[in-house]
């Protein structure tokens, strides 16, 4: 069994309020859960308008499949014009 975790720091440059940030973030989190089957949570910066830190985890029996899923997540976030990815740090557990 392989567990791949990531911390992803995101910036929302067009967000002018917590409400706007939360709206974009909720949709992003829901899509990541549905499309990629990962568990995730907002870890930090809950009170900042334009920034968040997400924690993502994926349990799999195939390390290569896990890496491929995380690459698709990275690509998905890069493609979203409302989000700027500041960092994507992966760690095996």
Tens place of pLDDT per residue across the chain (93 aa): 889 999 999 999 999 999 999 999 999 999 999 999 999 999 999 999 999 999 999 998 888 888 999 999 999 999 999 999 999 999 988
CATH architecture of 2-92: 2-Layer Sandwich (3.30)
How far is 52 from 8, CA to CA, in rounded Å? Answer: 8
- Parse the chain into domains and list their residue ranges: 2-92
Handedness of CA 29, 30, 36, 41 (dihedral sign): positive
The pTM (predicted TM-score) of the whole model is 0.89
- Nearest in space to 54 (alpha carbons), one of 81, 16, 88, 92: 88
Question: Please, where are the H alpha helices in 1-93?
Answer: 18-36, 63-79
Residue 28 near residue 80 (C-beta atoms within 8 A): yes
């Amino acid at each position: 069994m392989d567990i791949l975790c990531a911390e992803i720091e995101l910036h929302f440059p067009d967000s002018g309020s917590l409400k706007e940030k939360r709206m974009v973030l909720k949709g992003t989190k829901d899509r990541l859960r549905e499309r990629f089957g990962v568990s995730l949570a907002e870890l930090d910066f809950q009170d900042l308008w334009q920034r968040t830190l997400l924690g993502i985890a994926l349990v799999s029996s195939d390390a290569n499949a896990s890496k491929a899923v995380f690459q698709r997540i990275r690509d998905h976030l890069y493609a979203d014009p409302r989000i700027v990815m500041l960092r994507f740090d992966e760690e095996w557990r």
